[in-house]
Chains A and B, each alone.
Chain A
């Protein structure tokens, strides 16, 4: 259960949010940033979140943006997954987001909440990994943008007090050929077994994965093998899976062996479709 003595703050600016965070830390409080809050509430109910101050960042206008500027698509951290789907400015992100939770829950789940969550699927990160997006964060040093490759390693590597503000995705990536396939053990609802997203850029396929390991990832070593057209698709996949960057999940959603079986088939399905595009 979340502590009954939680304080709740709703800053209107990034500066105010940061100052609040550092002020509360200095008072030995345990503040956390709150956007959709779905994971904080559900994990809090199980005593898996410890906090005594919620800093609600939904009013930060920089976090609310979902629009193009001259060069980039700006995806703010507090936009809901439903907004992403309905505005459909980034079709691959729309598809990836639609696979998360259910329609009503997605009205509350935010992009930033999904990316910073503890749940290991976090499918909304996949399009950004594929498109080499920039991650905009605010902290002690002001507002800074980092290449996603630099700041995302299994999780977003945010320092204490840093706020995820936006993701910037170059326009050139937005309408590239793409596929995103989500596999569940059965039916169309429930937790996923595996999600694979792919884009084709400069005639090379890029792949990002969720549900295979306890974290989402993109592996350039796997991509090198999968794009080696001197070998058959089957051989390429066999070589690529040697570079899976972590333990393969083995849980109630599917055994390690079953996940590998589904992984191989799904990569093959994507390659057969995407290589012809």
Chain B
């Protein structure tokens, strides 16, 4: 990630229900600012090209790849990172379903699944497949990740009964 010195701006970012003041350059990606300036290292640098999804975060309920978003675009928006989903049902489901091996892609997958369930609490298999194809798991835990999401849906249905 680019770390060369240049003109800086002081901005406020709303992250995980906290307002964080931070100095950024307009060229900084959100991923770089989260990790390097704010110590939120849950979002992972993978391809840095918008392909792998390891850096996914949620902004205003919608999932984005933070490597292809400038931090300055996040000013005034409500950002959630994996650190903001501690003990959430989807995080627990990943643990309970062993939906990871090395774990590097896991934060990105969890953010994507979280956004999916916010927008579509009972997705079809096709919808689930379409959403999950945004993220890559080199350990190929795809089946377990599917099961983790399905378990959250099933648990919600049981709770509603």
Does A67 sit at the interface, judged by CB under 8 A? Answer: no
Q: Which residues of B contact A98 (CB under 8 A)?
A: 130
Does A8 sit at the interface, judged by CB under 8 A? Answer: yes
The stretch among A23-31, A104-112, A164-172, A176-184 that forms the contact with chain B is: A104-112
Residues B51-109 near A (CB distance < 8 A): 53, 56, 62-65, 67-70, 72-73
Contact B7 A5 (CB under 8 A): yes
From B3, which residue of chain A is reached at the shortest CB distance? Answer: A4
Q: Which residues of A contact B2 (CB under 8 A)?
A: 1-2, 4
Query: Which of A2, A4, A103 has the most C-beta atoms of chain B within 10 angstroms of its own C-beta?
Result: A103
Give chain B nearest CB distance to A64 CB in angstroms. 15
Does B150 sit at the interface, judged by CB under 8 A? Answer: no
For A, the interface residue count at a CB cutoff of 8 angstroms equals 26
Contact B64 A108 (CB under 8 A): yes
Does B26 sit at the interface, judged by CB under 8 A? Answer: yes
Give chain B nearest CB distance to A192 CB in angstroms. 14
* A37 and B69 in contact, given A3-B27, A42-B50 (Cβ under 8 angstroms): yes
Contact B68 A41 (CB under 8 A): yes
Contact A188 B63 (CB under 8 A): no
Contact A107 B62 (CB under 8 A): yes
From A4, which residue of chain B is reached at the shortest CB distance? Answer: B6
Does A88 sit at the interface, judged by CB under 8 A? Answer: no
From B127, which residue of chain A is reached at the shortest CB distance? Answer: A103
* A105 and B27 in contact, given A4-B5, A8-B70, A37-B68 (Cβ under 8 angstroms): no
Contact A6 B27 (CB under 8 A): yes
From B59, which residue of chain A is reached at the shortest CB distance? Answer: A107
For the complex, what is the distance from the CA of A4 to the CA of B5, rounded to whole Å? 7
* A4 and B134 in contact, given A104-B65, A108-B65, A108-B68 (Cβ under 8 angstroms): no
* A188 and B133 in contact, given A37-B70, A105-B50 (Cβ under 8 angstroms): yes
Does A101 sit at the interface, judged by CB under 8 A? Answer: yes
* A102 and B49 in contact, given A42-B68, A56-B73 (Cβ under 8 angstroms): no
Contact B68 A4 (CB under 8 A): no
Q: Which residues of B contact A7 (CB under 8 A)?
A: 7, 26
Q: Which residues of A contact B67 (CB under 8 A)?
A: 41
For the complex, what is the distance from the CA of A104 to the CA of B48, rounded to whole Å? 14
Residues A57-90 near B (CB distance < 8 A): 82
Which B residues lie at the A interface, using CB under 8 A? 2, 4-7, 25-27, 29, 48-50, 53, 56, 62-65, 67-70, 72-73, 112, 130-131, 133-135
Which A residues lie at the B interface, using CB under 8 A? 1-8, 37-38, 41-42, 45, 54, 56, 82, 98, 101-105, 107-108, 188-189
| 21 A-B residue pairings within 8 Å (CB atoms) | A4-B4, A4-B6, A4-B27, A5-B6, A5-B7, A38-B68, A41-B69, A42-B68, A102-B133, A103-B130, A103-B131, A103-B133, A104-B53, A104-B56, A104-B63, A104-B112, A105-B65, A105-B134, A107-B62, A107-B64, A189-B133
